[in-house]
Structures are given as C-alpha cells and as structure tokens.
Structure 1
Amino acid sequence: MDGLRFFRTFLAVARHGSFSEAAQHVGLTQAAVSFQMRTLETELARKLFDRSGRIARLNAEGRELVPEVEALLGAYDRIRQPRARQGELAGSVTIGALVSCMHTLLRVTSRLKQEHPALDIRIQHGQSHGLAARVMAGDIDAAFVVESNHLSPALRWSPMYAEALVVLTHAQAGGTCAAEVLALNPYLRFDPTQRTGALAEKVLRELGLNIEPFMELNSIGELTSLIEQGVGATLVPRLRDGGWLGNPRLRVLPLPHPVEAPARHIGMVERNDHARRAITDVIRERCAQAWRESPPN
C-alpha cells in the first residue's frame, strides 16, 4: 500500500504548503517526504512540483491531481470502515473540541460507545484556529470551535449555541456594577489576537474604559482559576458548562445597558465530504440535543 501512503503524504503537502510542514503532520522527516514525492512523480510519469532551491510547490498538474487523490483516499477509507449491522455505528473517528465543550462531548461520546461497541471515538482538545486548521488538513474529522469569519468553503459549519460576554470576578471583589468592577480591580485580559479577546476589547471601548491589563492569558480556564484566588476581574464569554453559578468564589455580572453584550458562537466544523460523515452526524445531533436540554451552569 505504498501508493496510498504516498498519496496521503501528497495531500498533506498540498494542504500545508511545504514538505517541512507536511512532515510534521504525517510523522516523517522532510527527507522522507521528499523521497516519497519524487517516487510518486516517477510512478505517475509527471512532475507535480515546481522546485526552486530547497522550496517545492505544487505546479498546475499537482493542483489538478488533488481532488482526484481526495476522492481516491475517501473511497478507500469508506471501504476500510468495519461493516456495521443496520442501525449500528462502527469505525474510528477523531473529534477536536475546546476545553469548555469537553464536559458535554465526553458525556455524549461515552454513551455512544456503550451503544455501539464497534465504534472508536478519540477526543482531542485545542484552540479554535488550530482545530479548524486540523479539520481542513484532514488530521481530525470534526471539531467544536468558535465561529470564524474566515471559514473555508470546503468546511461545513453547524451552529450549536452562543455565549455572551460578561464580567467575571471574585465574590468579594470591589465594585457593584460591571464597569465599576473592571475599573477597581486588576484587569486580566484575554489574548486580543483571538476572536474572544477582540470582542472583549470592543466592550471596553464601548464602556469608555482605558485599562492597563495586569496580565494577559489565552485560556478562560486559567483566567477563572486566578479569579477564584482573588486576582482581579476579566471580560469573558459566559461559559455554558462553566459551573460558575454554583461557585461561591465567583461573581458574574452582565454588561450594563445600553452596551450590547457581544457573543461568541460555538459550533461543529467538518469537511463537506469525508468518510466518517455517518458518525459525525450522530455526534453533532446528540451534542446539540444535550445542549438544548441542559441549562447553562
């Protein structure tokens, strides 16, 4: 099956743009990737790359081959899936998710695996931009992420729920309203280069607050942990499964009128056509139902 392995490496090069990037995703050295691509060119009797020094990029023939290879590998992956009896799910699938989605996702997939013993579900966590890129590259089958304004047309987006921004602080922190709490306590800023952080910066501007951040982090979990210890206040999405309502160390304040609380939208992203669609459809539907039926905590 060397040809199939070489085709998978070829797709990795096409998706990641270079031999070195592809090597990291397929677990090979750059030299091994180069060898496989030269071998593939020899077997197909055509040049697939324009080489300039140490840089190799897909040429026109290489780009034309990409959809054919995707179709070939997709068909092969479907054939390899275990044959399930009617009504049963079988095979392997890898799902990525934000940490904040993990509680519901793990509960849903654990039950699915009990119902379908031949089903193998692997869960991986990460940040939205990285997970979406891995879905696009074919490293994982689907992911629960924050909606992006730059979603590739090759990906399918299924909305799940929204999380409005709120002020989060310690229960004993000074201040009575959201703006006062932010002004009186050390400000813990969510990374403004990420979509969630950019929304928080927009809120600060609308509140007329020019606050020097005490610390900057890119994890809502880490921000929450610091606030539980009495360190400052922050602007973050009101996590649906955050467990904040029953936490005596936390205080959650809505944004004041007339400031409209922006929200981040959580959904599932997957490629438009992939071999494990039957499984990801069920996972998506079960998760959506679980979030509809359980109130935010």
Structure 2
Amino acid sequence: MSSIRFMRTFVAISRLGSFSEAAEAVGLTQAAVSLQMRALEEEFGRVLFDRSGRLALLNAAGQELLPEIKALLDHYDRIRQPKQAAGQFVGQLTIGAIVSSMSILAKIVSQLKSEHKELGIRLVSGKSAELTHKVARGELDAAFVVGTGRRYPGTRWTMLYQEPLRIMTHVSIRTRQPQDILMQHPFLRFDRSQHTGRQIDRVLQKMGIMPEDFLELNTIEQLLGLVRRQVGVTILPLLKTQHDDDLNDIRIIPLPSSLDAPTRDIGMIERRDNRQQAITQALYERYAAALLG
C-alpha cells in the first residue's frame, strides 16, 4: 500500500512545513520523501507544493486535497483495526509522559499489556510542552503532562492530581522564614522555558524577591540533588510520586499563605477524536487508583 505511506508522508509535510523534518518523523531520507511526493503528484495529476522557497508549503491544490487525504487515512486506520472481543483491548498506541509520571505509568502499561495480549503501547518521555504539542498534532495518542490552563483545539484535558509548590532547603539551614531563605542563599532555579519554571518565577515576583540565581535546570531530581549537597535552595513542586528517601537531608517549607497555595497540576491530554479512548481511559483510571494505593 505505497500510496497510503505516501499520503502519511504528505500529511507529515503539511504539519511540519519541511521535507527534512517530515523525513525524520516518518523514518526516511529527505531524497526518499521527495521521490514519494513526486509520485503522489503524478498519481493525483497535479502539483501539490510551492517549491519556490526553503519551506515545503502546500499550494492551493495541496490545501484542497489535505482534508480529503486525512479523512481517507482515518478511514483506512479504522478498517485495519482488529475487531476486539468483549473486554479485550487491541491495537497500537504511543503514550507520552513527563519524567516524574513515567515510573507509575510504566508499571500500569506493563500490567495492561500482560492482560491484553493484542495490545501494544509504546511510552515516550519528554518535556510537558513538547508532549502536549505532539498530542495536538496527532503524533501521540495521549500524554501525562503539566496543565497550563491553555486549551488546544481538538483535545481534551483531564486533571489527575496537584502538587503543591514548596521551598526546599538543606536540613542544616535553620531559619524557616521564606523571604530570609530565598534572599540569603544561592537560588537553584527550575527552567523558565517550562510552565512550572514560569509559575515559580511568578511566585518570586509576588513575594517581591529577586534571589541570587546560581543555575537553571529542567530536572527536579538534579535540583534536589544539589540542595542535598548544600549548593543552594530552590522552589519546586512536591512530587506526588516522590518517596520519603528522595527527601533525605531536605527540609520542606510552605510558601506564604498570601500566595493562595500555588500548585503544579498534572493530568492527561488526548485528542477528542482518539479512537482508543477506552484504553486511554483505562490508563487514567489505573493511574488514579495507583496514587490512592
């Protein structure tokens, strides 16, 4: 079914705007993608791309054809889907998760796959914003990510749990006054390119504090390790999945009550047209149950 493969490449180019990026997404060389698109244009009897610039942009004919090709691929995927017996999950899914959600999710996926022999689930980790965009573009079936309050067209967000933001210091620091802690010690900052980092930055602004930044990282575990080694202090979400051993030598201090208890929200995002919602719902429900257990 070479035409089906060519049409999937066509959709990838329309989404990514580049033959080279589409080639990486579908696992081909750029030359192979170019040949596929020439063949597709010959099959449909029309030019589909504006090749005058550096980007691969669909021309009017390509834009007109895009929704038809997407609908055809959706229909093809539906008829290829094995008919599942009552109570059995079948099919292939790709699920994303931020690092702090991955350990629980991996156990759940392993259990589901052992119970449903025709079910295949591939897990990928990444930054929350990156995973969210991949779900919105249809590259992932669902993802467990940080909620930002922003809604993406065609997607559904379901809250799973909340993690309160806390000041974290080494146990050797005796003062418990938030302002004193943050002003008197080097500050280990969470990556401000991420929603959580920007949220922490807003907390500092509301407190009227400009700490002495020592470094900026995007990994909670690494920041906690630096706190243990007395490099500095930080503000981080108190992970729901964290074990007590992970917080050895760390003192956890609440933020001032005037800040209205800021939290990092974790949930599942999926496309509304996801044909495997029964499976993603099972993942969500088992994750919620694991948190209670």
Structure 1 vs Structure 2: percent identity of aligned residues? 47
* AA matched with 1:250: I
In structure 1, C-alpha distance between the alignment counterparts of 2:265 and 2:65, rounded to whole Å: 36
State the Cα deviation string for residues 3-39 of structure 1 (Å, max 9, x = none).
0110110111111122122122111222222221121
Q: Which residue of 1 aligns with 2:186?
A: 186
Q: 1:132 to 1:243 in 2, by over 3 A?
A: same
Amino acid at match of 2:68: E
Q: Give the C-alpha shift of residue 273 in structure 1.
A: 1.3
1:246-265 → structure 2 map (5 Å cutoff): 247-265=247-265
Q: Which amino acid aligns with 1:99?
A: V
Give 1:188 shift: 0.2
Name the counterpart of 1:57. Answer: 57
Separation in structure 1 between the aligned mates of residue 32 and residue 66 of structure 2, nearest angstrom: 20
SS at match of 1:71: helix
Q: Which moved more, 1:39-48 or 1:268-277?
A: 268-277
Quote the Cα distance in structure 1 between the aligned partners of 2:270 and 2:148. Answer: 13
Unaligned runs of 5+ in 1: none
Determine if contact 1:167/1:255 at 8 Å carries over to the other structure.
yes
Q: Is 2:149 the counterpart of 1:153?
A: no
1:45 and 2:45 equivalent?
yes
CA contact (8 A) 2:17 2:55 kept: no
Distance 1:137 1:113, change over 3 A: same
Partner of residue 229, structure 1:
229
Superposed displacement of residue 76, structure 1: 2.2
- Please state how far the C-alpha of 1:286 moved relative to its aligned partner: 2.2
Cα shift at 1:141: 1.5
**Alpha carbons of 1:55 and 1:111: their partners in 2 closer, same or farther (altered >3 Å)?**
closer
Residues 1:67 and 1:174: Cα distance change in structure 2 (over 3 Å): farther
Aligned to 1:121: 121
Q: TM-score, normalised by structure 2?
A: 0.92
In structure 2, runs of 5+ residues without a counterpart are none
- Conserved 8 A contact 2:13-2:56: no
Q: How far is 1:264 from its partner? A: 2.2
Q: Which residue matches 1:86?
A: 86
Cα deviation code 1:90-149 (max 9, x no counterpart): 122111100111122122222212221221221111101111222233332111111234
Q: Is the 8 A contact 2:156 2:272 kept in 1?
A: yes
User: What amino acid maps onto 2:276 in structure 1?
Assistant: R
Aligned-pair distance for 1:174? 4.2
CA contact (8 A) 1:175 1:184 kept: no
Give the conservation status (yes or no) of the 8 Å contact 1:25–1:139: no
Which residue does 2:36 correspond to in 1? 36
For the residues of structure 2 that align with 1:93 and 1:249, how far apart are their CA atoms? 40
Cα RMSD (Å) of the superposition?
Answer: 2.0
The 8 Å contact of residues 95 and 142 in structure 2, kept in 1 or not, is answered as yes
**Equivalents in 2 of 1:200, 1:54: separation in Å?**
39
8 Å contact from structure 1 (residues 97, 131) kept in 2: yes
Deviation at 1:245, TM superposition (A): 7.4
Change (3 A) 1:86 1:234: same
